Amino acid sequence: MTDAELLQQCHTVIPGHRARAPAAMFAAMAEWCETHQIAHDVYGDGALIEAFEDKVARLLGFEAAVFCISGTMAQVTALRLGCEDRDSRLVALHPTSHILVHEKSNYQLFGHFNMVQAGDRHRPATEADLNAIPDRLGAVAIELPMREIGGQAPTWDELQAIKLHCRQRNAHLHMDGARLWEAAAGYGRSVTEIAAGFDSVYVSLYKGIGGLGGAMLAGSRDLIARAAESFRRQGGNVIHRSPYVVAAAMQFDQRLAAMPALFRRTQWLYQLLRDFPALRVNPAAPQANMLHLHLPVGRERALAIRNQLAEQHGIWMFGRASNAALPDTSVVELYVGDNLASLPDDKVRAAFALFEGALRTSVTITP
């Protein structure tokens, strides 16, 4: 049985948002389009997409924003353009940057820019990490929050120091804001405050928002005009962006409004996890509505336990698992979304009790 089939049969799902089946999603989109009399854009020209781009730009405090078919395309484009403006092809990236970990060396193979790593892979980059780089940087990328280290983010004061450092150094400061909406609740600040001082910001339209896909890139009017042209040259000029925009726009305000409650649920979960010492949490205190659990079993055993819980108890504890640094240990990610928020406290506690029990014994679970 595939992971998707196992997940489908579970009645108790811990991580993420409730996924709508395609028919339900398309029906909701159709109803929203009918209610708001939505017409297709044509190559990005249209009332809906232009209004939504403007809304995101204003929310982030920028002059303009443009839809992009993927964050992969948006980020390397923003960094390349920032480097062009400063006549340096060198970009500082954290060792866990999505560009390095998940994008198959696209920045290098397509000649976008050169890269130097900044910081320790187990903690957010600091101003001191940037200051230790003697080279003339064209750009710096900061992810807020940082998925690969459990949703950590720089402290507010450290983030302001990074902004000042880049301004004084004349380096383009770009934010990987795939989960910026989540970071706002952790900081207790508006996304406008967080984005202030950045030269460009990428945000996802499907991760925390729950859309079908796509991204927005925000920045100055000049930068965004050049980025839009670059997207066309890279093959991102799809004739109708309206399906992606509708899927995001119809629930955008609702998703953003829910973020503080999801962060409070994450704080509650941290309190609960104190009763399950076999599950070690990173970061030590929540900084967004996501976290990592370090498990005392290897990746394959962790996945086997997950599948047994799904098959025998209808409980889905996590999605992916990764091997950790120490032998026979692994790391799993939890995103606190609609699923956990809607579950009764006692059901969550019972699920984690079963999970920890299976980890401690590492034997076949019996119903």
Q: Where are the domains of the chain?
A: 3-18+254-360, 38-250
Nearest to 66 by CA among 243, 234, 184, 200: 200
pLDDT of residue 41: 96
Give mean pLDDT, residues 107-118: 95
* pLDDT the model gives residue 1: 82
Average pLDDT (7-27) is 94
How many residues are recorded in the chain?
367
- Look at the block and give the residue holding tokens 């698992």: 321
What's the mean pLDDT in 71-100? 97
Please give the pLDDT value at position 365: 43
Task: Give the whole-number percent of the chain exceeding pLDDT 90.
Answer: 97
Beta strands 321-323 and 330-335: pairing type?
Answer: antiparallel
One-character DSSP codes across 280-343: EEESSS-SSSEEEEEESS-HHHHHHHHHHHHHHH-EE--S-EEE-SSTT-EEEEEE--HHHHHS
Check residue 186 and give its pLDDT. 94
Q: Which residues contact 13 (CB under 8 A, 6 or more apart)?
A: 7, 315, 316, 339
Going by the DSSP 8-state scheme, the letter that residue 164 receives in this structure is H
What are the distances in angstroms from CA 133 to CA 82, 122, 164? 18, 19, 16
Q: How confident is the model at residue 19 (pLDDT cuts 50, 70, 90)?
A: confident
The conformation of residue 293, written as its DSSP 8-state character, comes to: E
pLDDT score at 72: 96
CA dihedral 248→249→254→258, nearest 10 degrees, is: 40
Q: Do domains 3-18+254-360 and 38-250 have the same CATH topology?
A: no
pLDDT above 50 for 366: no
- Is the pLDDT at 73 greater than 90, yes or no? yes
- Mean pLDDT, the chain, whole residue set: 96
296: left (phi over 0), alpha (psi -120 to 50) or beta: alpha
**What DSSP state is assigned to residue 160?**
H
Q: Are 351 and 329 in contact (CB under 8 A)?
A: no
Fold of 38-250: Aspartate Aminotransferase; domain 2 (3.40.640)
Tell me which residue of 216, 359, 365 sits closest to 297, measured CA to CA: 359
Q: Tokens for 199, please give them.
A: 């030269």
Q: What pLDDT score was predicted for residue 362?
A: 73
Whether the CA torsion 81, 63, 258, 277 is positive or negative: it is: positive
Q: What is the mean pLDDT of residues 311-316?
A: 97
Nearest partner of 218 among 55, 31, 23, judged by Cα:
55
- Residue 364 is predicted with a pLDDT of 45
Q: What is the pLDDT of residues 134-182, one digit of tens each?
A: 999 999 999 999 999 999 999 999 999 999 999 999 999 999 999 999 9
- Per CATH, the architecture of 3-18+254-360 is what? Alpha-Beta Complex (3.90)
Closest CA to 76 of 94, 109, 99, 93: 99
CA atoms in the 13 A half-sphere facing the CB of 191? 27
pLDDT of 338-363, one tens digit each?
A: 999 999 999 999 999 999 999 998 74
